[in-house]
């Protein structure tokens, strides 16, 4: 038997198709839920929070059709900072969203030094800075104030852990409630903790 493209059907072809794994859009579930939540906050006039675009320098673009431009080569202009920023009740808020499949901790390798430097700057200027961490296995999301996260970040250089344990996130952070309209309702936590 042959496929329309002329290839023979073999057992190997079926196994090859089954082995292909799509690694694209990993970690995007949390971000898409935060984006939906932020849209709900904006539409209900509760807060103005947006995802920051990553600055990219486009080098080569092909124009097969005027309406179908294809970017062939692009580079990051500079290291990005955190994922989101905005205003809530007159306060500047800035946060990073991280999703992990790890059951017991958030690896510090998931965060970069330039992001940590940015968090420190926000705190120095009296902004509200935090991380939203999703543990996929448990299906739970937590808000961890950046001040607590920075303690773990600094201790890794003193021989400490290279990750933030789930127990520490649960004790120093706050579980974010899930609701139908605001899937990651972090403003409820901000009201309790900061305002």
- Binning pLDDT at 50, 70 and 90, where does residue 77 land? low
- Say what the pTM is: 0.76
Dihedral sign, Cα of residue 149, residue 152, residue 156, residue 162: negative
Asked if residue 117 belongs to a known ligand binding site, the reply is: no
Residues 99-138 have pLDDT tens digits of: 999 999 999 998 999 999 999 999 999 999 999 999 999 9
Which of the given ranges, 60-64, 74-78, 91-95, has the highest pLDDT on average?
Answer: 91-95
Residues 1-58 have pLDDT tens digits of: 555 555 665 555 555 455 454 444 444 589 999 999 999 999 999 999 999 877 677 7
Asked if residue 29 belongs to a known ligand binding site, the reply is: no
Domain made up of 24-53+79-193: CATH architecture: 3-Layer(aba) Sandwich (3.40)
d(CA 191, CA 187): 6
Radius of gyration of the chain from its Cα atoms, rounded to whole angstroms: 21
Asked if residue 115 belongs to a known ligand binding site, the reply is: yes
C-alpha atoms less than 13 angstroms from C-alpha of 158 in its C-beta half-sphere: 5
The DSSP H or E segment spanning 42 is: helix 28-43
Asked if residue 83 belongs to a known ligand binding site, the reply is: yes
Give the DSSP per-residue string, 52-66.
PPPPEEEEEEE-SST
For the chain, domain boundaries: 24-53+79-193
Count other C-beta atoms under 10 Å from residue 21's C-beta.
6
Residues 136-167 have pLDDT tens digits of: 999 899 999 999 999 999 998 888 899 999 99
């Amino acid at each position: 038997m042959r496929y329309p493209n002329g290839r023979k059907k073999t057992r190997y072809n079926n196994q090859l198709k089954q082995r292909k794994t799509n690694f694209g859009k990993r970690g995007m579930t949390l971000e898409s839920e935060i984006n939906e939540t932020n849209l709900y906050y904006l539409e209900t006039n509760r807060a103005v929070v947006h995802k920051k675009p990553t600055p990219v320098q486009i080098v080569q673009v092909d124009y097969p059709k005027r309406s179908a431009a294809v970017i062939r080569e692009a580079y990051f202009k500079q290291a990005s900072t955190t994922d989101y920023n905005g205003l809530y009740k007159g306060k500047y808020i800035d946060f990073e969203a991280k999703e992990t499949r790890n059951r017991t901790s958030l690896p510090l390798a998931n965060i970069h030094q330039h992001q940590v430097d940015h968090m420190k700057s926000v705190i120095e200027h009296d902004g509200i800075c935090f991380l939203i961490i999703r543990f996929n296995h448990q299906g739970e999301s937590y808000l961890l104030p950046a001040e607590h996260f920075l303690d773990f970040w600094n201790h890794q250089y003193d021989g400490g852990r290279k990750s933030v344990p789930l127990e520490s996130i649960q004790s120093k952070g706050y579980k974010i409630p899930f609701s139908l309209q605001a899937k990651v309702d972090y403003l409820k936590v901000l009201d309790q903790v900061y305002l």
